[in-house]
Chains A and B, each alone.
Chain A
């Protein structure tokens, strides 16, 4: 036996090394199902590799910033102008979405739903990958130092990215959603069908376990369902690109990820999610109209000594300064005014609606903090009405404004603020 080992010494060593590794593999595969701890060799390797990656990414980022922020400024003015316009639009959208959220909030209170809040996120920079096309992982530059833990979801502004699988001192390993070992609960936005999001061996993304008798079209959006306990509900996952019959009466649904998983730069790690019952006091006692009315242009406090009839004077300067964005002011005075205000504001000035078409009153409601970006003028044509001229997208729109009629109650109380203007119900 000894002679045999001596004679085949190299082969014996090879068999020994292979056996040790196979044994190690078997132990690890068993441990994965239990509670896996990070092996020391992983810590060493990652500790050796990631500082170099961080350094290069930092250097690259610094050079990029130097070039883009100080040297290459061509087209910045134009871009700035476009961005300002975009901000205006986004602010308008924000109001609409805010109102929808408030409505949803109230409905959730009614139905007793639990809400999930992304109460804390950590921004991280991707610094490297696993280096293999069979293992779709990336490394980020935050780890235990940023209080990251395994199983924390990783997202971008576009959609979900993956989850943290291992955390090291100053870095963490993130398993991408398109890895074949990855899985997440997902739901189709339109049909509300639920399935399991899985990666494929070639790095694709599929939605599994959806019955083949369901109608799903390419282009349908897929969101997280929250059923996996990792990703918050309602986050974008991607869009359906291909639907075909799969095996076992399930559909084979291919998904294009919303986040570009091959070009990840910055990501957000959700470190804390709160789930709580929506408090009735938060929104339950507040009507959507009340929320909206706060955003409407308001009439400032009247001086206490003002005579009762002074209320008949239209708020000339106020109407000008308090107007929101000129492009939407006409809409906000008329079309956007909620019907419920009519009942609540007994002393409000009457505003008659402009003749311009208002496609979606909610969408055009400006927030209170929208700056006045275009001139609006207030005129009194002499017939007791004040006309507020605003410049809309298409043309100048004249909005006839009826004079303010103050009630005795409001004039008697100097502390009470004048109420919001009220639009006529058209």
Chain B
């Protein structure tokens, strides 16, 4: 199995330079907004969520992960008509969880990334639905086929996307 338990000392911690830290989330937001309009099927993907998972796992810092998730989530909320915080809370939880997992597990290979994304997509959806229904009173319906399809689609995209973003990693 590609996921291996390692001690904290054995896992490499990466950092990213400032332009990448700022531009990659903005680019993800832009592509999400633009491509969802041009290609309606693209709205099944959640590029900002994948970026949150990538940064959180690579940095392996729980505080860094949750702040990344929080900021990207709030920016994502800004493009919707919904109150700020629905995506923010969901991405904060995912950022914290992904970085916590990154501390304990080596998730550098494609199989591990696929499973991690599958898992955190499910976490994201559960938190999102809970917040949207419980706090904002949105009439969302849980659609199993759609959620499963979206989870697998995002997991596949994550494998490709993470491989591209690996080029921007810098060893600490």
Interface residues of A (CB under 8 A from B): 10, 13-14, 17-18, 21-22, 24-26, 28-29, 32, 39, 41-42, 44-46, 48-49, 52-53, 56, 126-135, 137-139, 165-166, 173, 175, 179-181, 201-202, 262, 264
A57 to B91, CA, bound (A): 30
Q: Which residue of B lies closest to A132 (CB)?
A: B80
From B3-11, B67-75, B110-118, the one touching the partner chain is B67-75
A133-B85 CB under 8 A given contacts A14-B66, A21-B70: no
Q: Which residues of A contact B26 (CB under 8 A)?
A: 48-49
Interface residues of B (CB under 8 A from A): 26, 29-30, 32-34, 36-37, 40, 43-44, 48, 62-63, 66-67, 70, 74-76, 78-89, 92-93, 96, 131-132, 135-141, 143
A46-B83 CB under 8 A given contacts A22-B89, A129-B37, A201-B140: no
A202-B141 CB under 8 A given contacts A10-B62, A14-B96, A49-B29: yes
Contact B92 A49 (CB under 8 A): no
Q: Chain B nearest CB: distance from A128 CB in Å?
A: 4
Indicate which residue in A128, A173, A264 contacts B81 across the interface (CB closer than 8 Å). Answer: A173
Contact A201 B141 (CB under 8 A): yes
A45-B67 CB under 8 A given contacts A29-B136, A130-B33: no
Contact A29 B135 (CB under 8 A): yes
Contact A29 B83 (CB under 8 A): yes
Q: Which residues of A contact B83 (CB under 8 A)?
A: 24-25, 28-29, 32
A264 to B40, CA, bound (A): 11
Q: Which residues of B contact A135 (CB under 8 A)?
A: 79-82
Contact B43 A128 (CB under 8 A): no
Q: Which residues of A contact B88 (CB under 8 A)?
A: 21
A134 to B138, CA, bound (A): 10
Indicate which residue in B29, B63, B93, B135 contacts A131 across the interface (CB closer than 8 Å). Answer: B29
List 19 other contacts, CB 8 Å, given A24-B85, A25-B86, A180-B139.
A13-B63, A14-B62, A21-B85, A22-B135, A25-B136, A29-B136, A42-B84, A49-B33, A52-B30, A53-B34, A127-B34, A128-B37, A129-B36, A131-B32, A132-B32, A134-B132, A135-B79, A137-B81, A173-B81
A56-B92 CB under 8 A given contacts A14-B62, A17-B67, A41-B74: no
Q: Which residues of A contact B32 (CB under 8 A)?
A: 131-132
Indicate which residue in A25, A45, A56 contacts B29 across the interface (CB closer than 8 Å). Answer: A45
Q: Which residues of A contact B40 (CB under 8 A)?
A: 262
Indicate which residue in A14, A126, A129, A134 contacts B92 across the interface (CB closer than 8 Å). Answer: A14
A175 to B81, CA, bound (A): 7
A21 to B70, CA, bound (A): 9
8 tightest Cβ-Cβ pairs between the two chains A and B: A135-B80, A45-B78, A28-B83, A129-B37, A131-B32, A133-B43, A131-B33, A25-B85
Q: Chain A nearest CB: distance from B131 CB in Å?
A: 7
Q: Chain A nearest CB: distance from B80 CB in Å?
A: 4
Q: Which residues of A contact B37 (CB under 8 A)?
A: 126-129, 138, 264
Q: Which residue of A lies closest to B48 (CB)?
A: A131
Q: Which residues of A contact B63 (CB under 8 A)?
A: 10, 13
A73 to B75, CA, bound (A): 44
Contact B43 A17 (CB under 8 A): no
Contact B92 A131 (CB under 8 A): no
Indicate which residue in A17, A130, A180, A262 contacts B79 across the interface (CB closer than 8 Å). Answer: A130
A28-B33 CB under 8 A given contacts A17-B66, A17-B92: no
- 11 example contacts (A-B, Cβ-Cβ < 8 A) are as follows A21-B92, A22-B89, A39-B78, A41-B75, A45-B78, A128-B33, A131-B48, A132-B36, A135-B79, A179-B81, A202-B141
Contact A166 B81 (CB under 8 A): yes
A367 to B103, CA, bound (A): 79
Contact B78 A41 (CB under 8 A): yes
Contact B141 A131 (CB under 8 A): no
Contact B84 A132 (CB under 8 A): no
